[in-house]
Amino acid sequence: MKILFWDIDGTLLRTAKAGLYAFEQAAGDLYSVKVDLSAIPTAGRTDNYIACEIIKAATGREPAETAVRQLVAHYESLLPGYLVKHPGHLLPSVPETLAHFRGCPDCLTLLLTGNTQNGAQAKLRHYEIDQFFDFQLSAFAGHYVYRNDIARQALAGLKGRLPDINPGRIYVIGDTPHDIECGKAIGARTIAVATGRFSRDELAACHPWKSLEKLPGADQFASMIEGR
């Protein structure tokens, strides 16, 4: 059995910053301030991390957990509208690659993402690729701030279903150093694609299992993970 854990933003799709615009409005609605999101590192970060940084910028204080949940919930309510207002696109080879692995009997196609589950579902529904993923076994931000914790949750959930799973058959596919780091944290093979903010050289410097300029075609990608 091969397990494919996919990141979303910058790996599967680009939302034209719809999520950041939704966070910006959410911050304005709740704190009556305009937060400079360009000063907050967001690539590869979790929604909870971004919410924490927004609250710190808006209030000058460390955020309470209830405040983070409130901001994230308001962001989730705004996100679908911003996905419509700011048209993005799927990245090359994504639909055919996901379709290929959905038809593969010894593969599980999952998500390992810094998005909340509601945020992830909104994005994947909007771009019509939600049907390719097992959401029950996928891993989302939940109450975690850091991706490594999400990855450990993902592995624990997977072992509950497949107790004999070999970490060498788990692949984490993403576009940031944080994706590489969280994959390594659970002993998975990491596949870095330079389709986000980081170049292939920058990603290769983090020593992933494979670094690619972009996601290859479905057959080539399947051959790569099957060692052909």
Classify domain 2-14+91-226 by CATH architecture. 3-Layer(aba) Sandwich (3.40)
Position 167 scores a pLDDT of: 87
Instruction: Tell me if 142 sits within 8 A of 150, measured CB to CB.
Output: yes
Please state, in angstroms and rounded to a whole number, the distance separating the CA atoms of residues 57 and 95: 38
Give me the amino acid identity at 120: A
CA distance 183 to 84: 32
> Each residue of 170-182: pLDDT tens digit?
999 999 999 999 9
Q: Spell out where the chain has E strands.
A: 2-6, 13-14, 89-90, 107-111, 170-174, 189-193, 210-212
pLDDT digits (tens, 9 = 90+) for 117-158: 999 999 999 999 999 999 999 999 999 999 999 999 999 999
Report the alpha-carbon distance of residue 137 to residue 9 in Å, rounded. Answer: 19
Question: In this structure, which amino acid lies at residue 69?
Answer: R
What pLDDT is stored for residue 116 in this prediction? 98
User: What pTM was estimated for this model as a whole?
Assistant: 0.95
Mean pLDDT for 78-84 is 98
Name the band, by pLDDT with cuts 50, 70 and 90, for residue 95. very high
pLDDT category of residue 228 using cuts at 50, 70 and 90 = low
The whole-chain average pLDDT of the chain stands at: 95
Domain regions of the chain by residue span = 2-14+91-226, 18-85
Out of 1.10.150, 3.40.190, 3.30.70, 3.40.50, select the CATH number for domain 18-85. 1.10.150
